[in-house]
Structure 1
Amino acid sequence: MPMPPFRADTVGSLLRSDSLKQARARFHDGSIDAGTLRDVENEEIRRVVARQESLGLKAVTDGEFRRAWWHFDFLERLDGVEGYQAEQGIQFQGVTTQARSVRVTDKLGFPADHPMLDHFRFLADTVSSATAKMTIPSPSVLHFRGGRRNIDTSVYPSLDGFFADLADTYRDAVRAFHAAGCRYLQLDDTVWAYLCSAEQLEAVRERGDDPSRLQSIYAEVLNHALAGRPDDLHVSLHVCRGNFRSTWISEGGYEPVAETLLGGVDVDAYFLEYDTDRAGGFEPLRFLPEGHKQAVLGLITTKSGELEPAEAIERRIEEAQRFVARDQLCLSPQCGFASTEEGNRLSEDEQWAKLARVVEIARDVWPDA
């Protein structure tokens, strides 16, 4: 039986339907209760799971339909973390998100009743033939956005203690998802892409952090969290360049982080965004260890509805083979279609056409797809 990642794979989030958006709005204004909202979410998740399977995808997600954000919903339910209304949102290219953030106010931990464990269980029960894939934010996300100022100094006088507890928290999360039946876990991580961006690197230096040291710290945290994981749990890392209403944050090739990230982080696969020249060339793939790790090329954009010609994508896959063997490559969209509930600027039909194109191309390129 094929193991994750699959030749035709998916990053995770899907466009929210009108019925789901309306239900969430009614829940927030008090018109319906949590149980009614959950019923709508369940119905919509069943629908998109069936649609993904019908396209031939071997990994399916719940579309992140129970979340408003790809990261905050998970992080806010960790022990020691609270969400709050920030002074300003996150600045993308020409657009700003809602003003939301998280901060560390107590000792970190992963609670046994974290709601996303049940979210995964529902997904697993819903899937018929594919592998249920769970997506959560990577641990580095909790530190990078706010840095020292969003970590209570009375709780963590030293950041060494914070990073140690962060690694332990995620180690417990990994084990908890496996115990819940998860065999394909994806960590979504914007930070590695930020460390490739001249603009973001300057911002990091201005606040007093050393970008090269952060690479080492984040790699150590990830490796501790994943150490000793069960052999049948496959973990991927999606390196995201920002995804909000079809815009982005970071640009710059992977070269500044490739040796540490591809060569030194103990995941099974990397989902790398390659839909535009903002990502640079495929040369950094030379750092992928030979034989036992996969690079999932995000060559199909989720930021517009225009459907890529299959021939053009196949040529790009051939280009990548100059630096890594074809057997170590897979294909996916470059990111999710709705990293926040607002979603990207394309239609649901265009979204499904993109995923169908991924499957079509993969079957042409790889005999085992």
Structure 2
Amino acid sequence: MTTQTTLSRTKAPFRADHVGSFLRPESIKKARKELAEGTITKEALREIENVEITRIVEKQIELGYKGITDGEFRRSYWHFDFLENLLGFEGYLAAQGKQFHNVVTSAHSVRNIGKIAFNPEHPFFADYAFLTEAVGDRAVAKVSIPSPNQLIRIGFRNEEIYPTLEEYAADLQQAYRDTILHFYSLGNRYIQIDDTFWGDLCSDKSLEIFGSQETYDELKRVATENVKNIQIGLPEDLVVTTHICRGNFRSSYSQEGAYEPIAKELFGETGFDGFFLEYDTDRAGGFEPLRYYTGDGQIILGLITSKTPELEDIAEVKARITEATKYVPLEQLCLSPQCGFASTEEGNNLTEEQQWAKLALVKQIADEVWGD
């Protein structure tokens, strides 16, 4: 594949992009332990986080990335830290964690305790303000938040507060719209909605997960409406992307299955400006489901794995990009790792040096394919 010098992008999502989370440095792990033991304050922890976030902002810019994140360094989880700070939810210790392939997560979860609403004091707003100041005008500060679909899973809705799923989803959607608009007021122009619920919907074990075809069909419908409705009325210059994941915990996964069962809804109806898709192994199937995508946004191919340290063969990655052009034009494709490097604070099984080598590889290939 020859370099396409006319296909470089100056608008998000970018030809070389990434999902967002990075391996937590030992300084943050140590400080979190000390906070739990009561030997340092929250303010002291935040100062350490500030230093490390500033460092990785500089590293991303040094590597040539245009979409910059804070590595999710202030979070323990990719999702719970956000969800439990929406009004109407709280975090708690569940009876058991989530089963992944050969490993189980911690038992932390969230539950619905009241009417759902936007929280103007959500801590993610201050976190984003710090990130955008660190990035300045050198690149685009990206924020990632979990999808509202994470909260329509069976067991999350309090039926005494919300007798119907429709009432529950309506308040959830409004809280998300208000949250996204507040990020926009802080200067955000690039937001990513992380979603593992679609991974459950396209799982080979979907009926085992959902119990019946009727429940599956209903929740797929609500999932589609959720992500469509949170985009209603958003400013035109706000780029809204989604990341579809089959699980990413300590280099393990939770689901297997091609995109085919959800392709028509996900690619044809949801209206995102970009789709970060897991394609690093055959667990996600082939590119054929992309035939349903007829939008003018970007398909970001997650062809580089964040789960293992070995670097992918450049020729093989380029060949897969070429294969994807059977369904989506090259000018509508981008490249990234399939997921973050640390969806939880434990992180995947590779070193920080290997993490940066993966991102350098993504950038190298993007430069050679698109002239990024």
TM-score normalised to structure 2 length = 0.96
Aligned-pair CA distance for 1:143:
1.6
Q: Which residue, 193, 199, 214 being the options, matches 2:199?
A: 193
Runs of 4+ in 1 over 3 A off after TM superposition: none
| Match of residue 117 from structure 2 | 109
* Contact 1:200 1:250 (8 Å CA) reproduced: no
Are positions 1:314 and 2:318 aligned together? yes
Query: Are 1:213 and 2:199 matched, yes or no?
Result: no
Question: Contact 1:81 / 1:108 at 8 angstroms: preserved in 2?
Answer: yes
Counterpart pick for 2:147 among 111, 123, 138: 138
Matched, 1:255 2:264: no
1:178 matched to 2:184: yes
Please tell me the residue identity of whatever aligns with 2:331: D
Counterpart AA for 2:76: A
Residue number in structure 2 paired with 1:120: 128
For the residues of structure 2 that align with 1:180 and 1:62, how far apart are their CA atoms? 16
- Match of 2:183, SS? helix
Q: Which residue of 2 aligns with 1:278?
A: 283
Q: Is 1:245–2:238 an aligned residue pair?
A: no
Q: 1:152 and 2:158 equivalent?
A: yes
Matched, 1:71 2:79: yes
Aligned to 1:351: 355
CA contact (8 A) 1:237 1:269 kept: yes
Q: CA deviation at 1:212?
A: 2.2
Q: Deviation at 1:238?
A: 0.1
2:37 to 22, 25, 29: 29
Identity %: 50
Q: Is the 8 A contact 1:83 1:103 kept in 2?
A: yes
In structure 2, the residue matched to 1:55 is 63
How far off its partner does 1:161 sit? 0.5
| d(CA) in 2 for partners of 1:18, 1:327 | 40
Q: What amino acid is the match of 2:179? A: A
Question: Could you tell me the TM-score, scaled by structure 1's length?
Answer: 0.97
Distance 2:159 2:264 in 1: 33
- After superposition, give the CA deviation of every residue in 1:50-81 in whole Å (9 maximum; x if it has no partner): 00000001111000000000000000000000
Q: 1:267 aligns with which of 272, 278, 286?
A: 272
- 2:3 corresponds to: none
Structure 1 unmatched runs, 5+? none
Determine which of 221, 228, 233 is the counterpart of 1:223.
228
Secondary structure at 2:99 match in 1: coil
Q: Select the residue among 333, 336, 341 that pairs with 1:337.
A: 341
- Displacement of 1:139: 0.3
Deviation at 1:213, TM superposition (A): 2.2
2:102 matched to 1:94?
A: yes
Q: Secondary structure at the match of 1:22?
A: helix
| Shift in Å, 1:209 | 5.6
Deviation readout 1:230-255 (Å, 9 max, x if unpaired): 01100100001100000001111100
- Contact 1:194/1:201 (8 A) holds in 2: no
Does the 8 A contact of 1:79 with 1:109 survive in 2?
Answer: yes
Q: Distance between the aligned counterparts of 1:199 and 1:355, measured in 2?
A: 32
In 2, the alpha carbon distance for the partners of 1:282 and 1:223 equals: 23
Which residue identity does 1:293 align to in structure 2?
G
The secondary structure found in structure 1 opposite 2:100 is coil
Provide the aligned length of Structure 1 versus Structure 2: 363
- Partners of 1:14 and 1:258 in 2: how far apart? 29
Q: Shift of the alpha carbon at 1:195?
A: 0.6
Q: Which runs of 5+ in 2 are unaligned?
A: 1-8
**Does 1 or 2 have the higher relative contact order (CA < 8 Å, sep 6+)?**
2
Does 1:40 pair with 2:48?
A: yes
